Structures are given as structure tokens and as C-alpha cells.
A and B are shown apart, each in its own frame.
Chain A
Amino acid sequence: MAPILAVNNLTKTYGRLVAVNDVSFAIQAGSCFGLLGPNGAGKTTTLEVIENILPPTSGDILYKGHPRAATFKNEVGIQFQQTSLLAMLTVWETLQVFKALYEHTENLDNLVKQCQLQEFKHQRHENLSGGQRQRFLLALALVNRPQLLFLDEPSTGLDPQARRNLWDIVNAIKASGKTIILTTHYMEEAQHLCDEVAIMDHGRIIARGAPEAMIRKHCEGVTVVLPRRSFRQPLETLPLNLQEINGAVHIQTSNIDDCLKQLLSCQVDLSDMSVHSPNLEHVFLNLTGRQLRD
């Protein structure tokens, strides 16, 4: 089946700065695709070029097998990472304004219910809390019944409860058959929502695949984490696969028993030890030597 969106050798530069460097990927209809990476990796720029907000420096973007036509804006929904709206309007009025800009639109009552905005629909949008505002921006992105939905860092700045709440809504949207492309620097979000992720760093895609498959491919066993102060000796003298990040020592091992024995034999203090299953954060760490939020 032809992908709903194909990005081929996309590059975007600002003078000498290469924000997006020869990026290619394709997305199947009905899937949720995540662009994962630290701040400044080029995720938002990639997304905005695909959305037709920014022009590409080079490369092709094909929507349903063809270059994006004038109708593209009618068929996609966009939630920006940071945006402002027309001032002094209520949630309901803003939805009405956006509804009037499109040809095929969603029933606003359904949309308000879907995004859990019933209680706030007659409030001015400037007065919404962070979580309410993100759900409202999501509703605006859905107002035209889009086939393809762009979500740029949808849960940034939300508390854990609000984030979970938003994920539930996004999962429901996904279940309705829409294709979603989202950017995030929360590996947990990517793992929870995405069928496929591409990890970006310095404008390039450095790894791509299903989250579980990527973890299996790039990480083995578990990660043991200890504070640096637990070690008396220089780390390079230890016969372990370890990395020091922000004052913590990360040890990856496929055999935790052997790892613990070696640590004990080296007289490492294990009182502050924690053990983690690998996740996309570790994939990024293994690929770049840095944490996602460095």
C-alpha cells in the first residue's frame, strides 16, 4: 500500500545552519509516527516543512503519492508547539471561526465532547489552564476532520495527569483511523502513542523503526544506575559497559547477576542503585552518548 506521506531527502537550511539534513521517511495511513529527539534536533522544522508552513531548501514531500496540492491544507490538521489565537474570543467562538475556514468540518458539539472541553467552552481561551489549552488546540486541529494530523510537542509543559489525559484522547483519535505525526522529546510518550518512531539528532534521522524493535536492536538487558560517588576508583578501570551522565553512572548489561558480582568485587557502594528496563531514552543514549534532555 502506498504511504499517505513520503518525505524524500528533505533538507532545510538557514544560511550556514543546516536545520534538517537529508531526511527521508514514509508513513502508512492510519499509523502514528513519532519524531523523537532533543530540543534543537530539527523535529519542528521538519514538521513545519511538511505542513507547508516553511519552504524546503531541497527534497520532495509527497502526499498520497503526489506533491502537495492546494487542497492539502483542507485535509490536514495542525497543532503547533507554540501558537496564539485571535484575542478576546471564547473557546466555542474560536472553534466556530476555524470551522468557517474549512469546507468539510466536524460537528463542534462532538469535538468539544471528544476533547473534554464542555466545561470551558464559553470561557475565553486565554483563561484556560495548560492541559485545557492543549486539548483546545487539539480540537482546533481536528475541526476540519483531517486525514493527517500533525501534533508538535503536544504534551510539553503538562503535568503527568494532564499528559495521560491527552494521550487517551490521541489514542482515541488514532483508533478512529486518522494518521498522526507527532514530535516529542518524551520517550514515554513516543512509546505509548507511536507505531513507528524516527530519532533525530542534529537535523538527521539516526534511527528509525517500531519502538520495541528499536529498543531490542539498540539495547540489551537492563540498565543499572548508580551515583558517581558510589565508585571509589576511576571508571575506566572497571571491566563494564558504562557511561557517566550528569553525575550518574549507567551500566548496560544482559546479565545482571554477573554485573552485580563485578560491582561488589570492585567494592562499589550499591545502596543507591536502581535498575531500569531499556527504553527509547537508552536507545538515544547508546546512539549519541547523550541524554534526550541534555
Chain B
Amino acid sequence: MRIKRIWIMFKARNWEFFRDRASFGWNFLFPFLLVAGFGILFGGKEPTAYKIGVFPQPTNGVAVASLELPDAFKKTRFLQFVGFASQTEAMQKLRHHKVDIVIRTGPPPYHYWINDSAPNGHLVEKIFQASLAGQVDSSLVQRGRIHSAEIRYIDWLFPGILAMNMMFSALWGVGYIVVRYRKNGALRRLKATPLTAFEYLSAQMLSRLFLLMFTLVVVWFGCDLVFHFHVEGSLGNIFLLFFLGSLSLTSMGLVLAARGTSEEFTTGTLNFISWPMMFLSEVWFSLEGAPEWIKHVAQAFPLTHLLTGIRRIMNDGAGLVDVLPEITVLLLMTGTFLGLGASLFSWDR
């Protein structure tokens, strides 16, 4: 392996990217427009029904009829019940305004908690109290309160948009470009030189990593100037996780780039992978109330682990140790994709 060869291929790919002005500009404009659009549309507020967190429950999806709660409350319209296994988990969601109230299910006395800084919580509390009238002794109700600032939808959405942009850029910028080069014979020309497949792929990967991180930093700070994002954890940890995520997504792109000379087929494959990943990795919305099997499918995508880790740092103030599972999965996925991509790679087929 020669670093000189990797370096020149890295530079050549970067020259190509920066000189393709339309593509270059779009990489910055696209995420900014999305963030701005959602910022304007939702004004930083999440438009959802009232969410009632209940625990202990084995799954997020709950059979409302079987809950040990007042019937009048269970029958109230526009309430969505979400189950949590433990109080800790439920309280975390309350702290982040993901649910409006948390209620421990079971026989009275009912114990519930609301977030003082969430207006919806006070409204749901009134509904809950009203549903108790005439059924149980209201003195058997225990009330708890917490206080934490709301996470705006835009704070939750922003890392998703950045990660989605990263995913598209990694998959198309590596997968599609390499297939195009294979089809038009540019890879064949390189095959005739001492450049090895490992050197070529490393250069492609490093170049894309550099471009992804460069774009990320510019878009992050550009959007932050406008929307003033609230970051609980360390910005350094966020960028580290973004780096690991881009490593994993770029490696995934290398698997797609390993074979094939048909741009149409590659486009189809890229869409087949990227669209489910975009919808199931919680880019746009939380899978809180989704069926369990969908959540299991989502675990197969690197984007899911990237976003889980980043949101935990950004919204929950988690440290690197807290997101070690996500880091481990991303690294394992990177290793698997790299191994697969390198073993399948062909210069001309």
C-alpha cells in the first residue's frame, strides 16, 4: 500500500466534487432548506395528539382496555397511550416532552407525573382528574412534578436531517459514482496502473468522509445561527458519532459500489436501501408507538444507531459511555461492510 497513491486519488475525487458546482451547492442547500422548511412549518412545536405514558408495560403498544385506569379516561378521544417497561424510561420521555403525562397503572392510588414546563401536561392532568370524579376517591391520587425545558421538534429533527443528508451523500457519492466509473471504463484504466483496489477504495472512502464532515460542520453551524439549537451533551461527542456514522454509511456505499455496471440498477438498489432507512431510522418521526417488528427491522440500519446515539447526546446529555452500544454497532457494521465491499470489488464487472 502506498499512501501517495491514496492521497492523489483522494485529491482527484475532491477536485471532482468541488468543481461540480451544482452537486456541491446542493449538498449544502438541501439540508438547510429542509431544516428551514420544517422550522417555518412547525414553528418549533411538535403537532401531535396527547401522549399518555404508562408503566410498567411490556411493550410500547398497549391494550388500552386492559389498563387499570379509570374508564372515562381510557375512553377520552385524542389520547394515545404508550407503554414503558420502567418508571425511569417513562420519566425520561416526560423530561423530553415526548409524553405529556406519566401514569403508573394499577389499582388506586394512581400516581402520575407531569412536566411543569409543558402546557399539554397541565391539560391532560385536568382531563385525568375529571375522569376520576365519582369513580374513586380523589384523595387517592398522588401527583408528581418535574421541570425540564422542552425539546423543540426542530431540535429533534435537525440531527435527523443531517444524518439523512449524510446517508444519501455517502451511498450515492460512493455507490453510484464508482459504478459510473466502472461503466464508462475509468476503473479499467486505473486497473492498468499499479493502483490496488484497496488503495482506490480507501481513497474513495476518505474523500467521502472528508466531504461529509466538511458539509456537516458548515450546515450545522449555518443552521445554528438561525435556529439556535439546544445541545445538552458535548458537541465533540456529537461530531465523533457523526464521523462513525459516516464511516459506516460510506462503507455501505462501498458494498453497493463493489459490483455492477448498470447505473439504472444501482439507482434502484440505492433507492431500495435508502428509502426504508430514511423512514425507519426515525429521521422524521419517532417509532415510539410503532409495532415491535418494525423496530427490529430498523435496528439493521446504521442510520438508526447513528441517530439514536446523536439524539441521546444532543437531547439527553448522554456521554460517550452512555452511547457505547451505538458506537459498537456502528463500528461492527463498518467492519462488516468494508470486508464485504473489499472482497466483492471488481474493476470492470
Contacts and interface: CB of A to CB of B under 8 A. Distances in A.
A245 interface: no
A83 B191 CA distance: 12
A96 B8 contact: yes
Interface residues of B, number: 25
B16 A86 contact: yes
Contacts of A103: 194
Contacts, number: 61
B16 A88 contact: yes
Contacts of A102: 193-194
A74 interface: yes
Contact of B186 (A53, A85, A96): A85
A2 interface: no
A246 interface: no
A285 interface: no
B189 A101 contact: no
A100 B5 contact: yes
Contact of B184 (A73, A84, A93, A101): A84
Nearest to A73: B194
Contacts of B93: none
A53 B192 CA distance: 7
Nearest to B193: A101
Interface in A80-124: 80, 82-89, 93, 96-98, 100-103
Contacts of B79: none
Nearest to B189: A83
Given A83-B185, A100-B8, A101-B5, A88 B192 contact: no
Interface string A48-75: 0001010000000000000000000110
A93 B192 contact: no
A84 B182 CA distance: 9
B261 to A, nearest CB: 12
A75 B15 CA distance: 28
Nearest to B177: A87
B186 A101 contact: no
A88 B177 CA distance: 13
Interface string A139-150: 000000000000
B203 to A, nearest CB: 11
A101 B184 CA distance: 20
> Which secondary structure dominates where chain A touches chain B?
loop
A86 B8 contact: no
A93 B15 contact: yes
A97 B16 contact: no
B181 A100 contact: no
A85 B20 CA distance: 15
Contacts of B8: 96-97, 100-101
Interface in B7-49: 7-9, 11-13, 15-16, 19-20
Interface residues of A, number: 22
Given A83-B186, A100-B7, A89 B191 contact: no
Contacts of A80: 185, 188-189, 192
A194 interface: no
Contacts of B189: 80, 83-85
B15 A88 contact: yes
B296 interface: no
B334 to A, nearest CB: 26
A78 interface: yes
B77 interface: no
Contacts of A101: 5, 8, 190, 193-195
B72 to A, nearest CB: 68
Interface in B242-294: none
A78 B192 contact: yes
Given A53-B191, A97-B11, 18 more contacts: A53-B188, A53-B348, A73-B192, A74-B194, A80-B188, A80-B192, A82-B185, A86-B186, A87-B16, A88-B15, A88-B16, A89-B12, A89-B15, A98-B193, A100-B5, A101-B190, A102-B193, A103-B194
23 contacts: A51-B192, A53-B192, A74-B194, A78-B192, A80-B185, A80-B188, A80-B192, A82-B185, A83-B185, A83-B188, A84-B184, A85-B189, A86-B12, A86-B181, A87-B16, A89-B16, A93-B15, A97-B9, A100-B5, A100-B8, A101-B5, A101-B194, A103-B194
Q: Which 4 A-B pairs have the closest CB atoms?
A: A100-B8, A84-B184, A88-B19, A84-B186
Interface of B: 4-5, 7-9, 11-13, 15-16, 19-20, 181, 184-186, 188-195, 348
